[in-house]
Structure 1
Amino acid sequence: MKDVSQFYGFEFRWLYVVDLVIVIFLVIQLYRLLKGSLAFNIFLGLLMVYVVFFVVRYLEMPILTNILQNFINIGLIAIIIIFQPEIRKFLLVLGKKTPLSKDSFLTKLFLPDRFKSYKEEEHIINEVITAVGHMVASQTGALIVIATTYRVKFDSASSITIDGNVSAKLIESIFEKNSPLHDGALIIVGNKILAAKAMLPMSDSPNLPTRVGMRHRSAVGITEHSDNLAIVVSEERATISFAQDGQLTQNVSLEELKVKLYEVLVDGY
């Protein structure tokens, strides 16, 4: 008769492997999320505290073990407070990778509208591309946020409600240099221009080039903790950039921007 402990030992060894793979996956996601930010240095400091705690506990140093144990217990609450934005972004990244996320094969296969027409989305894409092309040619600065959900973080008190259909002429008139609405961002939600002159949270990421201005920092800021696409037309350099998931991509062509809009508005469903 087989030893029961050996049988369960084989099972537990496989569980250890699964456990290790999950931990490695989470650490990689955390590293990608925090690298290059001030939060990464705080994370390394906390990691060092945990390492020291395990060392002093192994060496049976009761006073230091007790002090570090209490610090760690209190530190768990501090971690939630300090890393609140990063935790939200981390959960957003994990949510995108689940089998039931909108980008997954299962969702696309079983959603009843998987064969829907995308004429509305194509209309929005064409109007935005037309407006951006004209603004680049005239060196007109612009910041356009394409929101995939209705939860968009911007200062509604300082913004002007538009609630108009998406059209190139309307977008261009809003960002026209003499327009009172040209400062701030234009928010597009669904098939409507929701608001103009919107003030967005600016990113303080050290990864951004020092030469980028407020429009680019605001574009990155609005996408750091929400699933949006922000488009920037540079007034000085007449170039196009876009931000997504807190990452800024500069000097893209109109065709590259169009591909990105299709990815967000069509392929994302």
Structure 2
Amino acid sequence: MFSQFNFLIYLTPWEIFLIILDITVVSFVIYKAIMLIKGTRAVQLIKGLFVLIIAFFISDLLQLTTVNWFLQQIQLLIVVALPIVFQPELRRALEQLGRGKIFSGSMTYLGVEDRSRLINELVRSVQALSKNKFGALIVIENETGLSDFIETGVNVDGAVSAELLVNIFVPNTPLHDGAVIVRGDRIAAAGCFLPLTDSPYLSKQLGTRHRAALGVTETSDCVVIVVSEETGTISVAHDGELTRYLEEKNLKEMLEDVLLTKQNNNTSVFNIFRRSS
């Protein structure tokens, strides 16, 4: 085994330094690329690519001729599609490079206690919003990053608290019409724009907030809390489904199920790409 590295004894200290520098630079670039995409929906696409690559090698190993031929045919399609699919991430990378933000740190995960505190603050704020009939749209980022939508709003970067959330959604204030996006235990941005659902089965009684809540949960695993401005009704959207007429107890149970129970049971091999929710 060590014979493979015998060539190192013939290298000068300068050449060894250059090799180490070369490996370090490449490793850093790969690390930053992972940090860049782990905050976006591109993470799920990367997982899909890994599945296709693994399937290709398994089909070749087991001599599954038809499967292997099919996977070879879609290689060109993947190469052509990648720049289109990852266009937002490529644009963001160039922007961050120009601003010098490519060297910024990454997010950290939340422990169970921090998640519990977050849920309590969310429930407390929603109760106050509902009581005063303040329309609200609160998005809690999960494993799928929402950086694309965060960039459409106003940066806040403040600790989640019931008082701050209620103040954001007070009618006739600059940010009350958009969505608040929560990342970790902080409000990342407010006044954000979300995609509207195209579902034809949604009740005509539901307005833009509910359609936006469903729209963003159809493309990510986030949790969205909606407070109706007309009735004060509390709803939660998750996995493209909307649950309405929630009370404080039901709301807390739903948030705990998604943000605590499911997170604790997650053992995905792709955890390296995860972003804290």
Name the CA distance, whole Å, in 2 between partners of 1:117 and 1:199.
Answer: 29
Deviation of 1:158 after TM superposition, in Å, equals 3.5
Which residue does 1:8 correspond to in 2? none
Identity across aligned pairs (percent)? Answer: 41
Q: After the TM superposition, which residues 220-239 of structure 1 pair with which residues of structure 2 at under 5 Å, given as runs?
A: 220-239=214-233
**Does structure 1 conserve the Cα–Cα contact (< 8 Å) formed by 2:133 and 2:228?**
yes
Structure-2 change in CA distance of 1:155 and 1:265 (3 Å): closer
Which residue does 1:95 correspond to in 2? none
| Letter of the structure 2 residue corresponding to residue 222 of structure 1 | V
TM-score when normalising by structure 2: 0.54
Which residue does 1:137 correspond to in 2? 131
Name the CA distance, whole Å, in 2 between partners of 1:196 and 1:138.
Answer: 20
Which residue does 1:124 correspond to in 2? 118
Which residue does 1:180 correspond to in 2? 174
Structure-2 change in CA distance of 1:156 and 1:145 (3 Å): closer
Which residue does 1:216 correspond to in 2? 210
Which residue does 2:262 correspond to in 1? 268
Name the CA distance, whole Å, in 1 between partners of 2:254 and 2:182.
Answer: 16
- Equivalent position to 1:195, from 168, 171, 189: 189
Name the CA distance, whole Å, in 2 between partners of 1:241 and 1:154.
Answer: 24
Which residue does 1:170 correspond to in 2? 164
Query: Equivalent residue of 1:158, what SS?
Result: coil
TM-score when normalising by structure 1: 0.55
Deviation of 1:149 after TM superposition, in Å, equals 2.7
Query: Equivalent residue of 2:128, what SS?
Result: helix
Divergent runs of 4+, >4 A: none
Structure-2 change in CA distance of 1:155 and 1:147 (3 Å): closer
Deviation of 1:239 after TM superposition, in Å, equals 0.4
Structure 2 residue ranges without an equivalent (≥5): 1-72, 82-108, 264-277
**Does structure 2 conserve the Cα–Cα contact (< 8 Å) formed by 1:203 and 1:218?**
yes
Structure-2 change in CA distance of 1:201 and 1:153 (3 Å): farther
Name the CA distance, whole Å, in 2 between partners of 1:201 and 1:131.
Answer: 24
| Letter of the structure 2 residue corresponding to residue 261 of structure 1 | L
Name the CA distance, whole Å, in 1 between partners of 2:133 and 2:121.
Answer: 18
Query: Equivalent residue of 1:130, what SS?
Result: helix
**Does structure 1 conserve the Cα–Cα contact (< 8 Å) formed by 2:144 and 2:221?**
no
Name the CA distance, whole Å, in 2 between partners of 1:121 and 1:151.
Answer: 17
Deviation of 1:150 after TM superposition, in Å, equals 5.6
Which residue does 1:37 correspond to in 2? none
Name the CA distance, whole Å, in 1 between partners of 2:204 and 2:147.
Answer: 24
Query: Equivalent residue of 2:245, what SS?
Result: strand
Q: After the TM superposition, which residues 19-98 of structure 1 pair with which residues of structure 2 at under 5 Å, given as runs?
A: none
Name the CA distance, whole Å, in 1 between partners of 2:218 and 2:152.
Answer: 21
Number of equivalences: 160
Which residue does 1:245 correspond to in 2? 239
| Letter of the structure 1 residue corresponding to residue 173 of structure 2 | S
Which residue does 2:146 correspond to in 1? 152
Name the CA distance, whole Å, in 1 between partners of 2:192 and 2:216.
Answer: 11
